[in-house]
Amino acid sequence: MSQREIDAEVAGAQAAAEPGAHHPPRDYPPYRSSHFRHPHRPIVPVRDPEAVELSGPAFGVTDVTALDSDLTAQHDGEPLGERITVTGRVLDRAGRPVRGQLVEVWQANASGRYAHQLDRHPAPLDPNFTGFGRCLTDDDGRYSFTTVKPGAYPWRNHTNAWRPAHIHFSLFGTSFSQRLVTQMYFPGDPLLPYDPVIRSVTDRAARERLISAYDHDLSVPELSLGYRWDIVLDGPCATWTGEEGDH
């Protein structure tokens, strides 16, 4: 897909979207698999609250520990790639910190490959990097992860399609029904203008909120570069919710 074709399809989606809408249409043609990832029939409301489990999120088989937030220290050896620190605050629409929030991340390794059986990209796996982490926000709503910068990888959405570097985030809130899944991107990535996933967010301001900011004060001497990315759970400055698609 050429840049002109992408621009034309995005313009069509913008024209079809409701004025001021931050979320793209659920069926967004440039992102082809979105056609198969949304309901095609009206949503059926749950009348009986006892019929669905709404209480607290699952924390896995063990409690969350400090090691869970350092994706570079989960194996005996050092992972390959550029080490980074990603941190920010989880806030509500009034700017208040959301405390005790379960934040989970998953990502490709530095070569652009996921440690997942469905990932067939012929890039090398890293035996010292699994690509999964989690933490709880502190009293200021802050989270922090140490990891490696993920690599770009090809996908079969269109000709010469490459996903820009990104990290998947999941936040659970106080119940399963409040789960938010989204993606964080990196500033200055030359693939961003060509990626229909982030371009499906046709509101420019909302799209920019998906891109982290390099923060030199967060960089750790001799260790890692620092990126800041705040997440707003609702309101006019909310972080856009992505589809649960990539691996």
Q: Give the active site residues.
A: 114, 153, 163, 166, 168
The rounded distance, in Å, linking the Cα atoms of 192 and 200 is 11
Beta bridge partners of 102: 136
Query: DSSP characters for 12-45?
Result: HHHHHSPTT--SPPSS-TTSGGGGGSS-SSPPPP
**Which pair of tokens denotes residue 205?**
């301001």
The rounded distance, in Å, linking the Cα atoms of 234 and 65 is 28
Residue 41's Cβ-count burial label (10 Å; 0-12, 13-18, 19+) is exposed
The rounded distance, in Å, linking the Cα atoms of 184 and 198 is 10
Beta-strand pair 83-91/225-228? parallel
The rounded distance, in Å, linking the Cα atoms of 191 and 162 is 7
Beta bridge partners of 184: 167
Neighbours of 208 (CB within 10 A): 13
Beta bridge partners of 106: 132, 168
